[in-house]
Amino acid sequence: MSDKGALLEKLKGIVIDGIIEDSEGATKEALGQGVEPLEIVEKGLVPGIEEAGARFSRGDYFLPELVASAEAMQTAMAVLDPLLRAKQEARKTLGHVLLGTVEGDIHSIGKNIVGALLQAAGFVVTDLGANVAVGTFVAKARELRPNIIGMSALLTTTMVKQQQTIEALAKEGLRSGLKVMVGGAPVTGDWAKKIGADDFAEDAVAAVAVAKRLVGA
C-alpha cells in the first residue's frame, strides 16, 4: 500500500473506532503528505463513517460508539471544510440539516444525539445550539439555505416556538423547498401536523429515517 493509501486507511480506522483525539493530527498528516482534501473525505472519512453506521444498523455498535465516530469525523471536517470551500469543492452528502433547540429551552442532549446520527448517516449538520431565537432560525435559514430545519423542544411551554418559527419561515418566503422536522419529549405527531411541520420523530434513530425520507434519500 502506498503511503497515501495507508494514511487514508488510518483515517478510516480513526473514524470507525471513534478516536476523536487522533483525528485532527491524522488529517493534517495526510494534508502534509499532499493528499487532496476531497480525497481525504471521500476515501478516508466517509468509508469510515459508513462502516460505523453499518455496524450500528447491524446492532454491533451502540449509540455512544456511533457518536464518537461522528465526532471523529467532525473534528477532521473542521480542518477540511475551509480548504474545500477555498477550492470550491463539495463532498457528496444527503443534504444539509440546520438543528437547534428552541428559544427558552436549554435542553440539548437529544438534539446533539440526533445531530451525530444525521452526520453518521451522511448529512451535513449545522447545530445552532440551545435557546435559539425564532429570528436566528430564520436568519440562518436564509444564509445557509439548508434542506432541513430540525427543531427540538422539551417543555410544553416552549413547543409553541416551533410553531412560531415555521410561521416566520413562511412569512419570510423561506418555507418552500425547505423541510421542517420537530422533536423533543412533549412533541407528538398530532402537534407536528397542527403546526405544519413536515414530520416529527420520537427518538434519534427515527429522526434519521425521517430526514432521509424528507430529502428523498
Partner 1 sequence: MAHQKIVPIELKLQTRLFSPDDLKRFHLAALEIMEEVGVSMPSHKALDILAGAGATVDRQKMVAKLPRSLVEKALKAAPKRYTLGARDPGNSLDLDGKHSYLSTDGCGIETYDLWTGERRLSTKQDIEDSARLADSLPQIAFYWGPMVSAQDVPAKTRPLHELQAAFTGTAKHVQPETIITEEIAKYAVDMAAVVAGGYEELRRRPLLSVMQCAMDPLGQDGGSLEASLVAAEHGLPTGFMPMPMSCATGPATLAGNLVVTTIDALAPLVLMQTAYPGSPFFFAAAPTAIDLRLGSYTGGGPEDYLLAAGFQEICAYYGIPLSMGTMATGAKVPDWQAAVDNVFSTLASVLTTVAMMTGAGMLNGSKIMSFQQIVMDCEIYEIARRFAAGIEVNDETLAVKVIKEVGIGGNYLAHKHTRAHMREIWRPTVVDRSPLQVWEDSGRAGAFEKATEIARRTLKDYQTEPLAPEVQRELDEIIRKAEKTIRD
Pairing of the two strands 95-101 and 123-127: parallel
Cα(191)–Cα(37) distance, rounded to whole angstroms?
Answer: 43
Q: Which of positions 4-43 make contact with partner 1 (CB under 8 A)? A: none
Rg for the chain (alpha carbons), in Å?
Answer: 18
- Contact positions with partner 1 (CB under 8 A) in 106-135: 106-107, 109-110, 113, 117
82 secondary structure, DSSP code: H
Q: Does the footprint of partner 1 cover residue 3 (CB under 8 A)?
A: no
Q: Select 41 or 117, whichever has its Cβ closest to partner 1.
A: 117
Please, what's the largest Cα pairwise distance for the chain? 58
- Only one residue has cell 440546520, namely 98
Residue 168, C-alpha cell as written in the block: 416566520
Is residue 190 within 8 A of residue 159, CB to CB? The reply is no
The yes or no reply on residue 84 touching partner 1 (CB under 8 A) is no
- Of 33 and 156, CB closest to partner 1: 156
**Residue in 39, 156, 171, 209 binding partner 1, rule: CB under 8 A:** 156
Least Å distance, CB 49 to partner 1, is 17
- Interface residues with partner 1 (CB under 8 A)? 59, 62-64, 106-107, 109-110, 113, 117, 156-157, 160, 185-186, 188, 190, 202-205
